[in-house]
């Protein structure tokens, strides 16, 4: 794999159509910082712009943690972003920037990814270490992984858009149980609750993640996969199936006229591996994106 970008707290490596984004502060159990937020956002800008990238795997460095939550080294002022900004420690430039939750900004960028995202959760994942996983499309975990929505035990509240994502993934009752208690739970409980797909040994985890990524990269049309990702996620908030029917119809009408559709049918009939020519960078349907994202608005004091 070749490294991409000039990062300090993450690594981004790309090879054979698969990008691996590694949270890279193993001595701190990959604890989340403002710098890490900005670097993750930049990494997804890179993978979105690279037509050769067909899937993104996110994992953590070392075998102890995926991400042990926010870096608590600032002590009592850890979550007082205004105070930290006054002391020049956050690196944000205006009041709205200071007020925005960094985990939420990270999650929204992952949500907007044009490429499928696979989480390979290699150890402890608590606080933002678990909420940043929620917009990932597929999550697998090592057998030593632990999860915890610990916010109420730290005197704050669930963040990173988790009040939208988590109930949709695991149901409202399970989401509330985990968040009310703030307890740390096992990979098996995460599997039973629907948070993760499967559990693997630490040694096998990345291999399985790559197998999932390869299944996508080697067999599907890139534009079709990008459309599918956005259609599925965004329809979670639709008020009626007619909203899906409208977008489905526009998408299949558009895609049906492309060289990808011809290649998909003919490669099947000719019993050969498909080679899809249309690129995400210039081949998305004219109606994409069909949604209007709301802007951030501060509702505090």
Share of the chain above pLDDT 90, in %: 87
What pLDDT was estimated at residue 132?
98
How does pLDDT run across 234-256, given as a tens digit for each residue? Answer: 999 999 999 999 999 999 999 99
Tell me: pLDDT of 82 over 90.
no
pLDDT band at 267 (very low <50, low <70, confident <90, very high): very high
The pLDDT value recorded for residue 97 is 74
C-alpha distances in Å from residue 163, one per residue of 108, 131, 267: 13, 10, 43
Helix intervals (H) in the chain:
34-49, 81-86, 95-99, 102-111, 128-131, 162-170, 172-181, 187-192, 205-219, 222-234, 241-255, 259-269, 280-283
Over residues 110-115, mean pLDDT: 98
What DSSP string runs through 61-82? SSSSEEE-SB--TTGGGTT-HH
Name the pLDDT band for 2 (thresholds 50, 70, 90). Answer: confident
Q: In whole angstroms, what is the distance from residue 235 CA to residue 237 CA?
A: 5
Given a cut of 90, is residue 94 above it in pLDDT?
no
Measured from the Cβ of residue 294, the count of other Cβ atoms closer than 10 Å reads 6
pLDDT score recorded for residue 86: 54
Distance CA 33, CA 48 (A): 23
Asked whether residue 79 carries a pLDDT value surpassing 60, the answer given is: no
Taken in order of first residue, the domains within the chain and their CATH numbers are 2-216 (3.90.226.10), 221-283 (1.10.12.10)
* 3-state SS, residue 10: strand
């Amino acid at each position: 794999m070749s490294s991409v970008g000039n990062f300090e707290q993450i690594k981004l490596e790309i090879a054979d159509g698969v990008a691996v984004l590694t949270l890279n502060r193993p001595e701190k159990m990959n604890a989340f910082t403002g710098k890490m937020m900005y670097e993750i956002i930049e990494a997804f800008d890179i993978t979105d712009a690279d037509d050769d990238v067909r899937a993104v795997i996110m994992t953590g460095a070392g075998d102890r943690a995926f991400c042990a939550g926010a870096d608590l080294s600032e002590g009592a002022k850890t979550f007082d972003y205004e105070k930290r900004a006054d002391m020049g420690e956050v690196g944000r430039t205006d009041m709205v920037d200071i007020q925005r939750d960094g985990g939420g900004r990270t999650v929204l960028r992952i949500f907007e990814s044009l490429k499928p995202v696979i989480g390979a959760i290699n150890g402890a994942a608590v606080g933002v270490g678990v909420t940043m996983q929620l917009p990932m499309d597929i999550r697998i975990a090592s057998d030593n992984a632990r999860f915890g929505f610990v916010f109420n035990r730290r005197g704050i509240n669930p963040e990173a858009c988790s009040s939208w994502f988590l109930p949709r993934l695991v149901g409202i009752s399970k989401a509330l149980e985990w968040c009310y208690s703030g307890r740390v739970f096992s990979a098996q409980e995460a599997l039973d609750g629907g948070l993760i797909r499967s559990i693997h040994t630490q040694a096998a985890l990345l291999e399985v993640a790559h197998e999932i990524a390869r299944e996508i990269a080697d067999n599907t049309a890139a534009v079709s996969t990008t459309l599918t990702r956005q259609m599925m996620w965004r329809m979670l908030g639709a008020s009626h199936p007619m909203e899906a029917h409208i977008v489905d119809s526009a998408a299949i009408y558009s895609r049906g006229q492309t060289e990808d559709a011809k290649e998909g049918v003919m490669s099947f009939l000719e019993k050969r591996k498909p080679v899809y020519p249309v690129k995400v960078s210039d081949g998305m349907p004219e109606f994409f994106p069909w949604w209007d994202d709301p802007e951030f608005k501060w509702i505090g004091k």
